[in-house]
Amino acid sequence: MATEVADDAATTEGPPEFNEMEERLAEGTMKVDLEAPPPSLVLEGSAIRCREVCRSYGKLKVLSNLNLTVPQGHIYGLLGPSGCGKTTLLKCIVGTLKISRGHISVLGKPPAFPGHEVPGRMVGYMPQDLALYNEFTISDTLTFFGRIHGLTSKDTEARMDFLVNFLDLPQKSKLVRNLSGGQKRRVSLGAALLQNPQLLILDEPTVGVDPVLRAKIWQHLVEIVKTGKVSVIITTHYIEEARQANVVGLMRNGHLLAEGDPETLMKKHSAATLEKAFLQLCESFDQVGSKHSTSPQGGVLENSQSFESSRDESRPILGVMSGPLEVLPKYSADWKVRVKHVMPKWRNIAALMIKTMKRMKRMPGSLCFQFLLPVIQISLMCLCIGGDPKGIPVAVVNNETSSGSFSQSLLSFLDNSSIKQVHLTHGEAFAGAYNGEYWGVIGFGQNFTSDLTKRMLQRQVKKEIVDGGSDRQNANAQKKLAVAFEDFIQYKMGSLSYLVSFPIKFEEPIYGSLDSDFTTFVTPGAVLSITFYLAVGLTALSFVIERKEGLMDRCWVAGVSSLETILAHLISQLFVISVQVVLLLILMLVVFKNPNEGSLALVVALIVLQGITGISFGLVISSAIDDEQNANQAALGIFYPNLIVSGIIWPVECIPYPLRYISLALPQTYASEALRCIMYRGWGLSRMMVWRGFAVTLGWNTFFLILATVILKLRT
Ligand SMILES: Nc1ncnc2c1ncn2[C@@H]1O[C@H](COP(=O)(O)OP(=O)(O)OP(=O)(O)O)[C@@H](O)[C@H]1O
């Protein structure tokens, strides 16, 4: 199909690289397709130039040495069957996907080159996914993108009115979620057209659009390219509508089969329609491919790679001159431009924050849930954890019968709200305990009173006397019994009670009180854990969903950087965390009367910092995981081990040594300890145990933020 013929037409004056081609054409040393596109296509500047582009997803090679040129001021129709790689190519062109090999330049520079406005205002991108915020109205959507592109509100309003009219959209105040599929696609197209970009990249904009509007859209595209300043690349499944394009590229299995103007293509294949021409090209591609295929695997892409072995397959069957002859320009940017390129833009951060606030306002249920969930969690924890058991049935076997016996008196000192005494015979009591009806057995021998009296009065007693009474099985009942015994001895012996009571005296502790319970220990860690994990869950989920729906890519193509996205999310989530912290503290300190001896400002600062660390960790999860189910599983999977090993529920000192080192490295171990020290000891930042908690939290925070930014960068 390709013959070595010089094209007379290619002699017009043009850019240096084209002049070089002219010379080689004149010498006849260059291969060129018989049906080379008109000289204007070749010699004019190109809006997009792809050379030897390769891209794979894992082992699946999607783009193979692909060469494509979109001439400036033209509409380029990119056609091909489903799965041939069109969307992948467009994503590489806008820079949301990195190419494995080759070179792409868009409006003169590679995408994302420092200082280049691609991604940015120069490009309007309509992705195949709808990539719209469902809670936004049409007006909100266009205003959001207008803000990112730096349009004034007057300009945005004017463009909005035009687009609503032109794209036949319903009222601007209608929510995107209430629009039909076709209407949503038109809003998406409107967002791409909003800022009058120099380059429009439209991935199937006419799907689900009625034929009248489809014609109108094409007419509009034809009009805007007439100025020569706007270029369009458009993919479509309706092959015939692409006849209105100035150039079409026919793709199959990651290769560009042909590139040229539609009329020439049809003439070459003596086809009445573009569809027939495409069919013929595909057939010849498949025939030659299968004839020449020697690959034992015989996969489609392997076949296509062996297509017409004598031919340089990087070049389309029809079309423009390709890569190897071109000298790729060297691009460079001033360091100031590079610094400006990486610095976050306040305009974008503000636009993203306004977007988040607006979405929150439109989802009051979700916002209330975010505020109430920590409140419910901490209330349940304070109510259900750490309290004394109530009404525990304990069997009492009392072999003393007289009413004035010590055993009767001792039993009257037992805390009867905790222990429910059930008086039984020895046999019944043990049978009941073995059957699980009673939590323990308290037994008194028939000489309990006389034995105890002897112990009180004599310094040496026999062993049988000591064994006079006993309790079995229950630690809490044992503790209650010990307390009752102390009270009983105090009552009977007054100032001489020290002769019989436990020879160790517990004074008031230096910090806290003698009757501190488990809730007091667990609350600070639990508050940090709740704030941390709510932030992890909400961040991971919202980011994964935004990425899955193509919203992140769309914002990225509009010029929003990963850093700006992260900063905007951090700042807006700070508002949510602040409300959560206020509610948590009111509950903890006022309702459940948890003591706080230290600075409230330090308490708030540490909890908020832990929330921010949670957001950063959520960002790591969402940047590494694509699916919300997996992201949820990751967040949940980490929650429980972290809770147990961080010393939140049980002290770190009880953890076996190898695990203890892991525990100390976790984000909440030192932070919980610091919060306990602030709240219960009244310590400040001058104490190591306090500043260490802050330092470790800040360290994790920085680490997570850097990791999330790096992963996001690597994955584009
Ligand atoms: N993220 C991904 N991971 C792995 N494979 C992918 C991914 N995205 C696309 N592919 C695969 O790459 C190939 C090309 O997909 P692409 O979306 O570019 O095709 P397309 O030509 O745009 O199809 P359509 O017209 O149906 O949108 C397909 O085989 C697809 O399954």
State in Å: Cα 555 to ligand 1 middle: 21
- Band (pLDDT 50/70/90 cuts) for residue 347 is very high
167: three-class secondary structure by DSSP: coil
Q: Are 477 and 439 in contact (CB under 8 A)?
A: yes
Distances (CA, A) of 469 to 46, 451, 465: 100, 10, 9
Residue nearest (by alpha carbon) to ligand 1 atom 19:
83
User: Tens of pLDDT along 420-471?
Assistant: 999 999 999 999 999 999 988 889 888 888 888 887 776 565 555 545 444 4
Which of 287-291, 350-354, 503-507, 691-695 has the lowest average pLDDT?
287-291
Using alpha carbons, select from 652, 369, 694, 668 the residue that is nearest to residue 524: 668
CATH 3.40.50.300 fits 37-122+199-207+234-320, yes or no: yes
Q: Are 532 and 683 in contact (CB under 8 A)?
A: no
- Band (pLDDT 50/70/90 cuts) for residue 692 is very high
State in Å: Cα 549 to ligand 1 middle: 15
Range 659-673 average pLDDT? 94
Peptide bond into 119 cis (omega under 30): yes
Q: Are 320 and 36 in contact (CB under 8 A)?
A: yes
Q: Is the CB of 80 under 6 A from ligand 1?
A: yes
User: Tens of pLDDT along 230-249?
Assistant: 999 999 888 888 889 999 99
261: three-class secondary structure by DSSP: coil
State in Å: Cα 564 to ligand 1 middle: 28
State in Å: Cα 560 to ligand 1 middle: 25
State in Å: Cα 551 to ligand 1 middle: 18
Q: What is the CATH number of domain 392-499?
A: 3.40.1710.10
Q: Are 262 and 255 in contact (CB under 8 A)?
A: no
**CA-to-CA distance for 403 and 646, rounded, in angstroms?**
54
Ligand 1 pocket: which of 59, 60, 64, 716 to mutate (most atoms <8 Å of CB)? 60
State in Å: Cα 89 to ligand 1 middle: 10
State in Å: Cα 63 to ligand 1 middle: 10
**Residue 319 confidence (pLDDT) above 60:** no
Using alpha carbons, select from 80, 66, 73, 192 the residue that is nearest to residue 127: 192
- Band (pLDDT 50/70/90 cuts) for residue 554 is very high
Q: Which atom of ligand 1 is nearest to the CA of 84?
A: 21
534: three-class secondary structure by DSSP: helix
Of 326 and 480, the one with more pLDDT: 480
Ligand 1 pocket: which of 55, 87, 238 to mutate (most atoms <8 Å of CB)? 87
Range 519-548 average pLDDT? 89
State in Å: Cα 87 to ligand 1 middle: 7
Residue nearest (by alpha carbon) to ligand 1 atom 10:
57
Q: Is the pTM of this model over 0.90?
A: no
Q: Is the CB of 81 under 6 A from ligand 1?
A: no
**CA-to-CA distance for 188 and 132, rounded, in angstroms?**
7
- Band (pLDDT 50/70/90 cuts) for residue 677 is very high
Q: Is the CB of 85 under 6 A from ligand 1?
A: yes
Of 319 and 140, the one with more pLDDT: 140
**Residue 501 confidence (pLDDT) above 70:** no
State in Å: Cα 88 to ligand 1 middle: 6
Ligand 1 pocket: which of 56, 84, 129, 548 to mutate (most atoms <8 Å of CB)? 84
State in Å: Cα 253 to ligand 1 middle: 10
Q: Is the CB of 84 under 6 A from ligand 1?
A: yes
**CA-to-CA distance for 77 and 202, rounded, in angstroms?**
10
Residue-level pLDDT at 477: 66
Q: Is the CB of 254 under 6 A from ligand 1?
A: no
Residue nearest (by alpha carbon) to ligand 1 atom 24:
82
Residue nearest (by alpha carbon) to ligand 1 atom 6:
57
Residue nearest (by alpha carbon) to ligand 1 atom 13:
83
State in Å: Cα 622 to ligand 1 middle: 22
Residue nearest (by alpha carbon) to ligand 1 atom 3:
57
State in Å: Cα 128 to ligand 1 middle: 11
**CA-to-CA distance for 613 and 442, rounded, in angstroms?**
52
Q: Which atom of ligand 1 is nearest to the CA of 235?
A: 25
H/E element, 660: helix 657-665
27: three-class secondary structure by DSSP: helix
Residue-level pLDDT at 8: 36
Q: Is the CB of 607 under 6 A from ligand 1?
A: no
Residue nearest (by alpha carbon) to ligand 1 atom 20:
83
Query: Would you kindly state where each structural domain of the chain is located, as residue ranges?
Result: 37-122+199-207+234-320, 392-499, 521-533+569-715
- Band (pLDDT 50/70/90 cuts) for residue 289 is low
Which of 10-24, 136-150, 320-334 has the lowest average pLDDT?
10-24
Query: Computed over its alpha carbons, how large is the radius of gyration of the chain?
Result: 38
Q: What phi and psi, each to the nearest 5 degrees, are found at residue 312?
A: -75, 100
User: Tens of pLDDT along 356-405?
Assistant: 999 889 889 988 998 999 999 999 988 988 777 888 899 999 988 887 88
Strand 392-398 with 419-423, pairing: parallel
Q: Which atom of ligand 1 is nearest to the CA of 128?
A: 27
Domains 37-122+199-207+234-320 and 392-499 share a fold: no
Distances (CA, A) of 618 to 127, 553, 608, 688: 26, 19, 15, 29
State in Å: Cα 258 to ligand 1 middle: 20
Residue-level pLDDT at 26: 39
Q: Give the mean pLDDT of the chain.
A: 82
Range 157-184 average pLDDT? 92
Q: Is the CB of 383 under 6 A from ligand 1?
A: no
Strand 469-472 with 199-203, pairing: unpaired
State in Å: Cα 285 to ligand 1 middle: 20
Ligand 1 pocket: which of 86, 255, 256 to mutate (most atoms <8 Å of CB)? 86
State in Å: Cα 310 to ligand 1 middle: 29
Crossing angle of helices 562-585 and 518-548, rounded to 10°: 150
